[in-house]
Amino acid sequence: MGTRTSLKNQSGMLLLEGLIAILVFTIGVLGVVGLQATVVKQVSDARYRTDASMLANQLLGTMWVSDRTTATLQTSFNTGGAAYNNWLARVNATLPGAATYPPTVAISNQGVATVTIRWLAPSEAANTTPHRHVVIAQIQ
Structural domain containing residue 9: 2-138
Calpha distance 92→112 (Å, rounded): 24
Calpha distance 121→103 (Å, rounded): 15
Taking 3-state DSSP, the helix, strand and coil percentages for the chain, each rounded to the nearest 5, stand at: 60, 15, 25
Give the largest Cα separation in the chain, rounded.
Answer: 103
| Domain count for the chain | 1
Provide the 3-class DSSP secondary structure of residue 103: coil
pLDDT in tens, the chain (140 residues): 555 666 667 777 888 888 999 999 999 999 999 999 888 888 889 999 999 999 999 999 999 999 999 999 999 999 999 999 999 999 999 999 999 999 999 999 999 999 999 999 988 898 899 999 999 999 98
Q: What is the phi/psi pair of residue 24, to 5°? A: -65, -45
- Whole-model pTM: value is 0.76
